[in-house]
Structure 1
Amino acid sequence: MIDGRSFDPEAGQSLHRSVLLDQAVDLLVVQPGGRFIDGTFGRGGHSRLILKRLEGDGRLIGIDKDPEAVRFGEALAAEDGRFVVYHGSFADMDDAASRQDWEAGSVTGVLLDLGVSSPQLDDAERGFSFMSNGPLDMRMDTSRGPSAAEWLNTAAEKEIADVIWRFGEERFSRRIARVVVQQRAEEPLATTRQFAELVRKAVPKKEKHKHPATRSFQAVRIFINRELEDLESGLEKAVQLLAPGGRLVVISFHSLEDRIVKRFMRDLSRGPQLPRGLPVRAEEVEPPYRTVGKALKASEPEIQENVRARSAVMRVLERRADDKGVASE
């Protein structure tokens, strides 16, 4: 999630602009009187625009792991009674929905804007970025779970190497893990600069225009926050909640995320793969979901305004309006 057009309730001003903001909300809010879930509230960029589009009985739930994001959500809820905020992962959106007495098959649209937000990246105290020095934390939810430093200082060398390879696709993962273990024996890792410098020294071949620690920071962040596990679970929960005609809109920012989203939507829109020659009619095997259009990317003007938008990919899945069955489980 590269979150944006965020509203600071104390400063009273906009801070960022959400990637693919208008496109995402245009594709999401096709039934403005319905029920919507913004699974990655951030600073409320998408939520505020969704609320502007709602009509009649339209309602919106915002979800976020980050206690600071929830604080912004509470401020928005105080000014707009159609909105409530839920502290947790979008993997628990079924719980967030049930608290509002929203049943499976009753939600009009779900939006997921994945990854880390700009406010998290830009705050050195959160430890997400190697661009500035700060505590090596990386937790989206700072109220629970081990920090990146705690994990790196205690995990087995093989586990560290496996995580950096799996979630960062870093070919020098074993070398990096070995250096981490050697360093922590002398002095525990505590800061982003420390970790970034270790990785820089461990990587023998540097990629042009890319910091050597980019992949390792991504990998550790994804692991610490269970991002891919939450994504897989969240996608399943979303389609269970979708009403006929409802849509799931997902914006991803790296290939690991997009691969999961693409495969998930492809499989649902293809439906069951039956052997040739079966005596069944087309309408009997038509899948209850369809993909809407092609994958969308940020425009060149948007990328020039926000360089973090360059990797954004948006995909949309719709439950067919004539589907009367029970949502996929």
Structure 2
Amino acid sequence: MLPKRTLSIAPMLDWTDRHYRYMARQITQNTWLYTEMINAGAIIHGDPNRFLLKDECENPVALQLGGSEPEQLAQAAAKVAQFGYDEINLNCGCPSPRVQKGAFGACLMNEVALVADCLNAMQAAAPDCAITIKHRIGLDKQTEYQPLADFVGELAQRTNCRTFIVHARNAWLDGLSPKENRDIPPLRYDFVYQLKQDFPHLEIIINGGIKTNHEIAEHLQHVDGVMVGREAYHNPMLMQSWDTQFYGSTQPEISHAQLIERLHQYATAQLATHRGTILRHMARHYLGLMHGLHGARAWRRILSDADLLKPNNPDLLWQAWAEVQRECE
């Protein structure tokens, strides 16, 4: 039985790859993990192993698809299901110009009928996977709640989608970069709370600007789940207490030393496959692991040093950890 989506890690381009997800799963057993957004066409026409390969330990794990053609999304969803993903999520929140040019992402919020067709096609192609959607609260400088409620309500009527992940900011399709779109449009958590009140039968998950466990607990008073993005990347040990605090687990929390041991074993195994993976591909995700500790700077310095990384020796993790311990004494 899969855990509830009480907590999840947001899909983040160039960040939530399989190496990051493996690390995250060692820290928390119950939190849902999401891939980077992957274009449906890349899955259909590209190397499936490149885009879909994952470690079995990652589950529960969701793959986020980008696209706006129902037939293409269906083909991609069928392939995704074969790789054992628990959920396939449709991106209706990305505001980047490149995504807009492909007529998908946040601009799909203006085409609810097409979104419904996409979700239905994905569900038909992957009947054993949960099909979900991630979207914004609105577009550009729209300030009314009702268009958001209409969007969610129509999808709830026309599809079997019951999980809505809502980034509590508008997406400005013109005038802001993707980075600015993550910070400048104001957060309206009250809109997401209102969605849960208006659609109590739907699973409503809130996303956007959430940084602490206290904030998570506050949001969970109003919605079904919380999706954390950048903070879970830059400070991964934020997740250390999630299983006990939010899932009621009685298992002991993983220590830094235990985590480094597992990451060392993982890096050793990955390098031994000789599939082109290098230590830097993994170590770049580990830079924030010592956040808040005295040796954090030394840890980051060692694991970002190109000369030290070049030999692809996983023992570099132990070297960096020894430096952290020395500075913490």
TM-score by length of 2: 0.32
More helix by share: 2
Relative CO higher for 1 or 2, CA cutoff 8 Å, sep ≥ 6? 1
TM-score normalised to the size of structure 1?
0.32
Larger radius of gyration: 1
